[in-house]
Chains A and B, each alone.
Chain A
C-alpha cells in the first residue's frame, strides 16, 4: 500500500489513470483514529490485470477535506458519497455531496470511531424530498466554499418510484424527471435497507462476521462468504484442502445458477410473462433441495467457515447434482422457447438501455452487466481462485451492451456453470473438510483484499486488522452499488417503461447495495 499526501493525491491518481489504471475496484473510507480520516483506493489495469493500492489520509478530523476523483473514474461518484455519509469526509469537486444511505437529518457519521449512537433515535417523520444538493469547490487561494445546486426544477414533472414497488426488486427508490414518457433525469435513493453490516462487523469476532455476509446478497450467499473466508485465510496463511476447494467451487456455481434462474424468473415477471416466473422458480427449488441436504439452509446456508466448510457434503450430493444438471439442460431449451424467442421480449429488450464498454469500466459495473458490454471482467479469469484456474470454461462476452445482451449473458452463464460443475463433480478428492484453526481467531496486522466473482459481479472484501480478534475495518465491495450508479447514464433518454426492463436486466439486489 502506497501512502500519498492529500495535496498530491489527485495528481498522482490522474497519472495512474493516464497510465491505464482504468478500473477503480473499490474506494474505502477509513477512520484511523489519531492518524486521521482517509480513503483507500484499489485500482486495476484492465489490459494487464495489474493492481495498485493507494492510501491517503488527512489529519483534520473536524473538517476533513480530500479531492474528489469523480473526474477520473465515474465509480467514485457513489463511493465518495458513501464515504461522506459514513465518515463525513468532504470531497472537493464532487458534483453532488449528499448522503447516500442515511437520512439528510441524520446527526453525525456512524462509521467514525467516536460516533455517539444516542444522537439518532428512530425518526418517524416522513422524509422531505430533496431537490437541492450542494458541492464543495476550491478557490484559487486555497479556501473551500460550499455551493448549492438544483437537482430538480420546480416545473419539472417528477415521478417517484419506490421504495415499495414490485419492480425495483426490493426497497430501492428512484426519482425520475419525465418529459412525456422520456426519462430526462434519474436520481437514485439508496439506504432503505442499510443495515450497517460493516460497522457491526467491527465489534464482532471473525467467525461471527461470517454470518452477516450471507445476508448481504442473499442470492450469492456462498460466494460472499467464500470471499470473506478467503480473505481471512489469506491473512492468516491457512491453506485449505483440495476437497474444500472443490466443494466451494461447486457450491459457488450452483449458487450462480440459482441466482440466474431467479433473475430469469423476475425479469420475465416484470415484463409480464408470468408463466416463465413459475418455470424458473420450479427449477430453482431443485437447487435449494441440494443445498438443504448438505448445509441445512435453503436461502441462507452459513456453509463456508474459516479454513473449510461447516459440514461434509451429503452422501447423495454427487448424484443429486448430476441429476439436476441432466434435468436443467432441456429445461433451459424450454425457457428459450417460452421467452427468448418471443416477439414481445425482443421488443422490450433489443437495443434498450445501452451501456458502452468505457462506461462499464469507468463505473466498475462488473458481472453480467459488464460482460454484456464487452468488458472481460470475470474475476474467475482475471484472478483465478479456488478451482477456477484448473477448469475449462468460457467467459461469456457480448458487445451489444443492451438489455437483451445482458439477459443472454446470464442465460449462457448457466450453461457454463453446469460445464464447470460437470468437470469437478466426479473428482472430489478425499480430505479434510475443515482445517484445524485456533479457538480464537486473530488476524495479523495489515490490510488484505480478496475478491470472488459473485452472481452479479465482483464481490470484494477489504480487511484492515490491528491484530485483534475483531476486524478494525471491514469493507465489502458491493456488486450492486456500481450497478445502480449506471442507472442514471443508461436510463437517460429511455422510456419510463424501459426503466423496468433495464432494472431487471442489470439485476441488482438491494441489501447488497445498501449493506
Chain B
C-alpha cells in the first residue's frame, strides 16, 4: 500500500515549509512496504491521533502567555483538536516547552517528559527553548531543550506569534500522520 503525503484540510501541501523531511519519511515508509490492512488501520489511528493531540500545560515564562492566547477566544486551537490542555503529564500527548529552561528546571522537565505516555512529542517554543535565546550566555540557562529531550518541532520567535504556534502545531500533526503506529511509535524500544 502506498503512503501518501500528509494533508491538512484547507491548507495546500505546498504552503508548508520544510516538506523535505516528510518526503524522506514517506520514502522510507514506502520502501519498507506496508501491509494493506495494517496501513489502513495506521491511517485511521493516525487520523484520530493527529487531530486530538493534547498538550501538557507547561509554561515557564513569556511564551506561556502566548500559549494561553492561542487557547483563548481569538486563535482558539480547539479548532485543530488541541483543546484539552492537560495539567498532568500522564494524560498528555505532547509537551510544548514554552519558555526558558534553567538548570534548576531541567531535571524537572526531564522528569515530566519521562512521565508522559508513549507516543509523545516535544515542541520547542521560542528562542529560549531552542537555543537559550537572549539568555544564552547566562550561567543558569540551558542552551536549548534538545540537549535533554528529543524535539520534534521548533517554533522560533521571542515570543512566537499565535499564528506561528498554530503553524508549528500543524507541522506536528503532519508528522504524526506519517508515522507507523502498529509496530512503530507505540512500541519504541529503549535505545539505552
The chain A residues found within 8 Å of chain B, CB to CB, are 101-103, 110, 115, 117, 120, 122-127, 163-166, 170-171, 191-197, 199-200, 203, 211-212, 215, 218-219, 262, 265, 277-278, 281-282, 284-285, 288, 298-300, 510-511
Contacts and interface: CB of A to CB of B under 8 A. Distances in A.
Interface in B116-172: 134-135, 137-142, 147-148, 158-159, 161
B137 A203 contact: yes
Contacts of A125: 107
B67 to A, nearest CB: 11
B107 A123 contact: yes
B100 A298 contact: no
A278 B70 CA distance: 11
A282 B137 contact: no
A448 B158 CA distance: 30
A102 to B, nearest CB: 7
Interface stretch (B43-51, B52-60, B173-181, B184-192): B52-60
A163 B112 CA distance: 11
Q: Which of A120, A127, A193 has the most CB of B within 10 A?
A: A193
Nearest to B110: A124
Given A124-B110, A300-B158, 19 more contacts: A102-B140, A103-B104, A122-B147, A125-B107, A170-B61, A192-B105, A193-B60, A193-B100, A193-B105, A196-B135, A196-B138, A196-B139, A199-B138, A212-B135, A215-B62, A262-B65, A282-B72, A300-B159, A511-B60
B108 interface: yes
A278 B74 CA distance: 9
A193 B61 contact: yes
Contacts of A117: 139
B146 to A, nearest CB: 13
A191 B104 contact: yes
Given A126-B111, A193-B102, A196-B141, A215 B134 contact: yes
A164 B58 contact: yes
Contact of B141 (A123, A195, A203, A277): A195
A299 B62 contact: yes
Contacts of B66: 298-299
A265 B161 CA distance: 20
Nearest to A189: B104
B135 to A, nearest CB: 5
Given A102-B140, A299-B159, A195 B100 contact: yes
B138 A195 contact: yes
Contact of A211 (B59, B68, B112, B134): B134
Given A192-B105, A193-B99, A171 B60 contact: yes
Nearest to A280: B72
A200 B61 contact: no
B142 A163 contact: no
B61 A102 contact: no
Contact of A164 (B68, B108, B147): B108
Contacts of B36: none
A285 B102 contact: no
Contact of B139 (A199, A218, A262): A199
B65 A299 contact: yes
Contacts of B159: 298-300
B57 A212 contact: no
A124 B148 contact: yes
B84 interface: no
A131 to B, nearest CB: 18
Contact of B61 (A103, A126, A218): A218
Given A193-B61, A211-B134, A282-B72, A123 B103 contact: yes
B69 interface: yes
A237 B140 CA distance: 35
Contacts of B148: 124
Interface string B80-96: 00000001010000000
B134 A281 contact: no
Contacts of B61: 170, 193, 215, 218, 510-511
B85 to A, nearest CB: 8
| List of 10 A-B pairs having minimum Cβ-Cβ separation, nearest first | A281-B72, A196-B138, A218-B62, A282-B73, A511-B61, A192-B105, A278-B73, A166-B87, A195-B135, A196-B140
A171 B105 contact: yes
